[in-house]
Amino acid sequence: MADRQVVYTHGYQEPVLRSHRSRTAQNSAAYLLPELRPGQVLLDVGCGPGTITADLAELVGPSGRVVAVDASAEVLEQAAAHVAGRGLSNVVFESADVHQLHYVDGEFDVVHAHQVLQHVADPVAALCEMRRVTAPGGVVAARDSDYAAMTWYPEVPELAEWLALYRRIARANGGEPDAGRRLLSWARAAGLEDVRATSATWTYATPEQRAFWGGMWADRAVRSTFAETAVAKGYATLADLERISAGWRAWGAEPDGWFAVLHGEVLARV
Ligand SMILES: C[S@@+](CC[C@H](N)C(=O)[O-])C[C@H]1O[C@@H](n2cnc3c(N)ncnc32)[C@H](O)[C@@H]1O
């Protein structure tokens, strides 16, 4: 079990959750969708505000069900409200730490974690727990971005500054920002043998996509746990963060602006 305390780098401020709420099963879990069937019991680990959770619940419903867990009671409340707003009744929400899941061996057909393992103290121990609660023949699915592989155009210097600062803070907090490239190695270290490793991207290149992505990161640069940690640790001043925020707005206003986020994915049969 993990014995290190980890700070969740992003936090739960409005611009952070604005980003997470844009996620769907289609844009964030397409590699898992061919495995899903009505009637399955699915565990969504680190469910955040629950938009992917709700999509997964629709796909395994009405006879199947989802247990959604997160380390934050605050975000679980928001996820429950989202799921209720969509009229779904086959999801239960519970507080849990992925390193120590309070479920019996083999309780789930599918165990899923999106953008979670990059934030935990011990991703191999987390995958061992995810494997333990998966039934024989079931699947463990994990997907994480890889910050060092993020790429964009044009070369706005403040975005390079943001990336270096983010990676420094995520590591200081006990996480691994370049998780995507490591997922296969973590899955193998967790004893998973039948593993399919893939990758997929998010691309922001239309005026609407640039306005969303650039505006969201401009806000997060000054209003998030990342921003608070940067100042508290003395890695950046408020003036630095405001400059980075302005850089994100400048990128968002670039008619030629393009940004790609690479993700690693693993789908492991237990
Ligand atoms: C980047 S968010 C992803 C949320 C959601 N899966 C999505 O993709 O929209 C990461 C989530 O993992 C949760 N988390 C972080 N460490 C955790 C842990 N050790 N156990 C369970 N959840 C954790 C955080 O509270 C946060 O809600």
pLDDT digits (tens, 9 = 90+) for 55-64: 999 999 999 9
Q: What is the pLDDT of residue 85?
A: 97
Place of tokens 């044009």: 154
- At residue 5, the pLDDT reads 60
DSSP 65-132: EEEEEES-HHHHHHHHHHHHHTT--SEEEEE-BTTB--S-TT-EEEEEEES-GGGSS-HHHHHHHHHH
On average, the pLDDT of the chain sits at 96
Residue 84 contacts residue 90 (beta carbons within 8 Å): no
Tokens of 184: 């296969």
Residue of 9, 14, 58 whose CA lies nearest to 33:
58
Residues 234-243 pLDDT 10s: 999 999 999 9
Q: What are residue 57's phi and psi, to 5 degrees?
A: -65, -35
- pTM, to two decimals: 0.96
Q: Which residues line ligand 1 (CB under 6 A)?
A: 8, 10, 20, 23, 28, 45-48, 52, 70-72, 75, 97-99, 114-116, 119-120
Which mutation among 77, 95, 119, 128 tests ligand 1's pocket best, with the greatest number of atoms within 8 A of CB? 119
Q: How many CA atoms lie within 13 A of 217 on its CB side?
A: 22
pLDDT digits (tens, 9 = 90+) for 93-150: 999 999 999 999 999 999 999 999 999 999 999 999 999 999 999 999 999 999 999 9
